[in-house]
Every structure is written in C-alpha cells, then in structure tokens.
Amino acid sequence: MSSDTAQTPAPPRLVQSSREGDVLVLTIHNPPVNAFSPGVPEGLKAGLDEAESDDSVRAVVIIGGGRTFIAGADIKTFNLPREQAPDLRGTIAKLDGFQKPTVAAIHGTALGGGFELALGCSYRVATKDAQVGLPEVKLGVLPGAGGTQRLPRVVGVQKALEMMLSGNPVKASQAKELGLIDEIVEGDLLQGAVAFARRVADARPLPRISEREVEGASPEVFAAAREGIRKTHRGQLSPGLIIDLVELATQVPFDEGHRIEGEKFMEAKDSPQSRGLRHIFFAEREAAKIADVDRSTPRREIRTVGVIGAGTMGGGIAMNFLNVGVPVTIVETSQEALDRGLGIIRRNYENTAKKGRLSLEDVEKRMGLLTPSLSYDDLAGADLIIEAVFEDMAVKKAIFAKLDAVAKPGAILATNTSTLDVNEIAAVTGRPGDVIGLHFFSPANVMRLLEIVRADQTSPEVLATCMDLSKKIGKVGVVVGVCPGFVGNRMLVPYRDQANELVLRGARPQDVDAAMHALGMPMGPFEMGDMAGLDIGYASRREAAKKSGEPMPDDWVDRVVELGRKGQKTGAGVYDYPEGRRPVPSPLIEELIESYRAEKGIERREFTPDEAMKRQAYALMNEGARILEEGIAQRASDIDVIYVFGYGFPAYRGGPMQYASEQGLKNVVADLERYGIEPAPLLRRLAEEGKTFTDYDQGRMGR
C-alpha cells in the first residue's frame, strides 16, 4: 500500500451492522446527535438489504450509538439541492414495506425524522428517560417523512395536532400510554430490544401504522386548532400546513396524504420563515462559543450566589438560582425593603403553584434556599455576587469597593447594569479580572436572554463560567462588549428615533406600532415605551444633556412626558389606557403632534406600512452593523439571538440581521439611502460584495 493511500481516511461508516444471533442490529454512529446526514440512509438501506437476503435473520433492531437515538433530519442539509438531500422518506418507505419485524430501540431523544423513522418500524421500545416528538414546527417546517400521516393514526387527531403544533416531546411513559412505544426497557436497551425482537419475530401480519384508520376527526377539532394558531403562531406558515395535512389524513388514503406531505414539506423548507428559524437554531448554539476562550478553559464552581438589591430585578435574578437549587443570600439596606422583596418572590412562586406548575412543597423548598440579610459580611462565602441596584455609577462603585473587601478570593463579581461602563466599575476593585456584567432582562425570572458583558480585563475563566451558568439557569447567554446600552439597548436608540421621526413626518403612532406587528413583533415602539415608562428615556436624555453641557434635543415624545403622561403606570402615555393595558389612540396626543409639526414647519406625508416597517427594522440592523464592526458583538448571529430572546423580534424572521440579509443587503442599502438614513460602513461593504451577514460571520470564524 502506498503511503498516499495509507493516509487517505476511510469514509466514515455511519451505520454499523452486527449480529445478535438471529437478530440483525443496525447502529447509527453520527455524533453528536445521530442526525440523518448523507450516508445514514445508504447505511440503513444496505443493512435492511442484508437482513432481507439472509434467511437466518428473523428481525432487525435499529439503535443509536452514543448519547441518543436519531435527533431528526440533518438541518444543515436543508440547503442542499433536492436530489442531494438524504433520502429519509425512501428509507422509511422501505421499513414500512419490510417483510421481517423491525424494532426501533430509543434512548435520549427520537425527534423529527428520527421519530418518523421509528414510526415506520413495526415496533418501538425505549428506555424510561427517553423522549419522542415532532419539533419540526419550531424550524418552520412540518414533519415531512410521514409524521403528519402516521402520528394521528396512533394517537388520534387531537393529540397529534397538540404534539405537532407545540413541537414539544413527550416522555417515554406518556408515549407508552399513547401507544407510541410498545415497551419500556429496564436495564440494557440493546439487550432488551433484541429480546423484544425475538418475541415478535414470528408475528404476522406485521403491524404497520400506515394501514390504521385515523380516529377523532371532527370539523370542530380542526376549526379550534386553526383558531388556536392565530394566537400561538401568528403570521406563521407551517402550523396551518400541519393542520391541513392532519385533516387530509382523515380524508385520503395514506399514500396520497404522504405524497402531499412531501410537497408541503418542500414548500415550508424553502420559505424565508424556515430559513429564519433554522438560522436562530444554529445561532443560539453558536452564541455559546466564545471566539478566543478555549473550550478547555477551567470553570469556577458556583455553589452559592449573593444578590444585592431585592427589587424587581434582584428578586427575579435570585429566583433563577433558587429554581435550580442554588442557595442565594439577598442583601438590602432596610428590613422593610427586604421584607417587600421576599414577599414578591414568595407571591410569584405561589402564583405558579396556583397554576399547577409547581407544588407547594417546592415553593417552600425554594424559599428555604433564600437567606435575607442586611449585611455585606454575609456575602463572604458566595461564589458569585450579582449587584442589582438602580443605575447610578457612584452607588455601584461604592458597592463594588465594599464587595472587594468582603468577597472571598476567586468570587465572581457581577453587575446587572443595563447601560453603565463595566470597566469603570471593575476599576474600583483590586480584582478586575473577576468583574463581569450580567445583564438580565425584566422580568428576570422569565426572559431568556442574558447579555454577558465582557469588560477589558474580565478573565476567560470568569467568562466561560458565566456562559455555562447561563445554560444551567435556562438562559441564552450572549457575550457582548462594553459600550452604552451594550448591544440590545444601544440598538433601541436609533429604532426609537426612527419611530419618532415617522410620526413627526406624518404617520400616526398606531400606524408605526402596527407596522412592527406586521413584522411579527408583539409590541411596537410606542406600546413598548408606554409599558417601560416614557420618563426613563426622558431622564437619561436629560442626564446626558447635562453631562455634555448641550441643551436637550427637542422631541415630541418628551412633550408627552411633560404632560405627566409617563405611560401605563400613569394610565396614559402616547396612548390612553381607559381599561387596563389595552392602548387606545389619544386625540390629545394627535393634537399635540399636529401642533408640534406646525411649530417646526414640517409638512405631513404618507408612509406605506412597508416603508414604516423597513425604516424601523433597518434602523435596528444598521446599528447592529456598527456594533459588529466595533467588535462589541462577536457575530451578526449573536445580535439576532439578542433580539429574538430579549426583545420579541420574531424568530421566524431570524432576527434583524438575518431579516436584512433575507431582503438582500443591496436592496437594504438602496432603501436606507432613499429614506435618508446613512448606511453603516460594514453594511455598505457587504452589499457591494454581494454578501450577507452570515457570509460575514463565516468569514470571521474562518469557516
């Protein structure tokens, strides 16, 4: 053998075939999650051919090597031309027509195409901690390998719709009750599956889900499902297709339903919505990787946490740790503030218990992990201390100086500031390497985003520990650099300016908000302002003006605040709130805007909803491009993750950067120029090169 051939790596064998006596075992080895990548169908089909032609094989077991069964189609192959895509449907068709019993042996998760493959087998067995489900809707597609036709044939229409529209998996025990799993295996899965296969080796006719009838069809069930998705999946394509296909399963033979399912899958897969959701799926996982922090960086152990401030933010932050069993000491300046804070935390837990999502025993367990204190000395043993007091640099500096004195060596000192300079805060300590920003979003026990603010001297160890911790407490951590507002809040500034500008030039606030609803945002900029309190922005602009010595720039929204209309909390802001939180356009504000325009000599013009939407969405993205170029965000996709998980940007648009890429950056630049907005230099460059933000990310990551 020449040295050349010796060095050529053998093509990986993704499916291994082995014998357990009269049972042929096909093991899929495609780490990390055994996705259905090219090579897997070929391996499975070859294994089935082997079983078919060998009379000594009485049954086949299909099992996943490593940590899981098959987690679905390989999402990375969705961009491949149709003819190169792995043939999952053909593999399942072969299983469905197979003349010897086939048994799927499930551990970990059987998801999407993985579960569809299992449903194509004659039988399914699983470990007791396994989970099965069809999460395709979360990727903007539908189960495209028989799932929409087979699942209702097992669990009935109602349950099938529930599973496929939520995308949530069910545990093995529930799957057994539903008839999706034939047996739960105690002990070794492979041995259990082989024993099961032997028991059913002579069963004839073989059970085939495709031959069953669909139960539970009624026009009301479908009507209710269609009504339901208008709220849960507003503006999305694939949930409606899923309902149509389940209805079809009740009307036409399996083969016909299966054929149409294949076509609809392609339609959904090629939609911008699915591209957006797939983008976010990978972006979320990518965000956990910190470019210059090695995976092997040592982590610090976080066994106890201290929180300073028992207000809304501090309380919410503390709950994150209590929820995962980490004891928290919470410090306040007065007994009254402490009692109030603890009372709110308890009430939050009790409300969750009332909804049946937490037992009363768990409420007590969590409260039992919380130690109230009036003294910083009680933070001496904490591994992580998070300051969550109001935004005042002098106060924060004083706190960090105190922490420097009491915290044990190696403790991580974090600030929850949403806008202040973390370097300046770190500088008052003798251990700036241990100082970091952990910017939680309100309500901190609910919102998934955590901006992890890396100051100049934050150590890699501290960063890596906080990134791991974010996952432990169920957050999506994104590393950002120091600048006013970091990534998320900084991008809001030009966004709000654009919204104000639209109104100034002629749009009504409700039209500006409606444009963002059409994009899929739950709230428009004025609704958001009213909810957060208009006085907050007003105060910070006044503060900035005072510092710079310049007069505060004139703005019509500030005049709203000066009327005492600070938003929902005062019952009026840009909108009136006659009944709770529902905004109602205000004639008074319309007059205010009209007279402001007259005062400034501005002539009113019309804006189409499309222009109003693009002006605002592009204002976000344009600032994002600046942030990216400055290195404040590691990747464009990180910015998308921040906006999807922290600001309600619709995941099916992929975030503001992906949304712009999807429009074509050349078109975006042309639009911005038409609107009189200066495109960010990076945006202009990418547009000239015919690239997208994903190209930019891939170029920087050297992929």
- Which residues are catalytic, by number? 116, 136
Instruction: Go through the chain and tell me how many residues it has.
Output: 703
112: contact with ligand 3H9 by CB under 6 A? yes
DSSP-derived pairing of the beta strands 170-171 and 131-133: antiparallel
Least distance (Å) between residue 698 CB and ligand 3H9: 14
Take residue 424 and report the two structure tokens written for it.
């300046």
3-state secondary structure at position 413: strand
Binder among 30, 91, 109, 445 for ligand 3H9 (CB under 6 A): 109
User: x-or-dash pattern for ligand 3H9, window 488-517, by CB under 6 A?
Assistant: ------------------------------
113: contact with ligand 3H9 by CB under 6 A? yes
Least distance (Å) between residue 269 CB and ligand 3H9: 8
Take residue 340 and report the two structure tokens written for it.
């109030």
Least distance (Å) between residue 148 CB and ligand 3H9: 9
- Residue 311's CB is within 10 A of a number of other CB atoms, namely 16
Binder among 13, 19, 76, 700 for ligand 3H9 (CB under 6 A): 76
Least distance (Å) between residue 117 CB and ligand 3H9: 9
User: x-or-dash pattern for ligand 3H9, window 263-282, by CB under 6 A?
Assistant: --x----------------x
259: contact with ligand 3H9 by CB under 6 A? no
Residue with tokens 């308890």: 346
Binder among 116, 434, 530, 640 for ligand 3H9 (CB under 6 A): 116
- Residue 38's CB is within 10 A of a number of other CB atoms, namely 15
**Of 5 and 296, which has the nearer Cβ to ligand 3H9?**
296
Give the C-alpha separation, 611 to 499, whole Å. Answer: 11
Least distance (Å) between residue 198 CB and ligand 3H9: 30
Say which amino acid occupies 23: V
Residues 162/168/173/174 CA torsion (nearest 10 deg): -10
Q: Which of 610, 646, 626, 644 is nearest to 693 (CA)?
A: 626
Take residue 516 and report the two structure tokens written for it.
């963002």
**Of 476 and 561, which has the nearer Cβ to ligand 3H9?**
476
Give the H or E element holding residue 620: helix 609-629
Q: Which 28-67 positions form the footprint of ligand 3H9 (CB under 6 A)?
A: 32-33, 35
81: contact with ligand 3H9 by CB under 6 A? no
Least distance (Å) between residue 471 CB and ligand 3H9: 8
Sequence-distant (≥ 6) Cβ neighbours of residue 563 within 8 angstroms: 588, 592
Q: Residues 302, 464: contact at Cβ < 8 Å?
A: no
Q: Which 664-683 positions form the footprint of ligand 3H9 (CB under 6 A)?
A: none
Helix 157-166 to helix 219-232 angle, to the nearest 10 degrees?
10
**Of 131 and 692, which has the nearer Cβ to ligand 3H9?**
131
- Residue 576's CB is within 10 A of a number of other CB atoms, namely 18
Binder among 13, 259, 285, 347 for ligand 3H9 (CB under 6 A): 285
Least distance (Å) between residue 621 CB and ligand 3H9: 24
DSSP-assigned letter for residue 180 = S
- Residue 255's CB is within 10 A of a number of other CB atoms, namely 11
Q: How many residues bind ligand 3H9 (CB under 6 A)?
A: 27
Least distance (Å) between residue 306 CB and ligand 3H9: 29
Sequence-distant (≥ 6) Cβ neighbours of residue 336 within 8 angstroms: none
**Of 134 and 389, which has the nearer Cβ to ligand 3H9?**
134
Binder among 64, 72, 567, 624 for ligand 3H9 (CB under 6 A): 72
User: x-or-dash pattern for ligand 3H9, window 121-150, by CB under 6 A?
Assistant: --------------xx--x-x-xxx-x---
**Of 100 and 138, which has the nearer Cβ to ligand 3H9?**
138
Least distance (Å) between residue 286 CB and ligand 3H9: 7
Give the C-alpha separation, 24 to 49, whole Å. Answer: 11
73: contact with ligand 3H9 by CB under 6 A? yes
Q: Residues 136, 112: contact at Cβ < 8 Å?
A: yes
Residue with tokens 């010897």: 100
**Of 80 and 588, which has the nearer Cβ to ligand 3H9?**
80
**Of 71 and 260, which has the nearer Cβ to ligand 3H9?**
71
Give the H or E element holding residue 576: strand 575-576
CA distances to 195, 256, 336, 493, 636 from 630, rounded to whole Å, are: 61, 54, 44, 17, 12
**Of 139 and 464, which has the nearer Cβ to ligand 3H9?**
139
Span interacting with ligand 3H9, options 110-118, 212-220, 322-330, 579-587, rule CB under 6 A: 110-118
How many helices (H) and strands (E) the chain has is answered by: 30, 19
Question: Applying CB under 6 A, which residues contact ligand 3H9?
Answer: 32-33, 35, 71-76, 88-89, 109, 111-113, 116, 135-136, 139, 141, 143-145, 147, 265, 282, 285
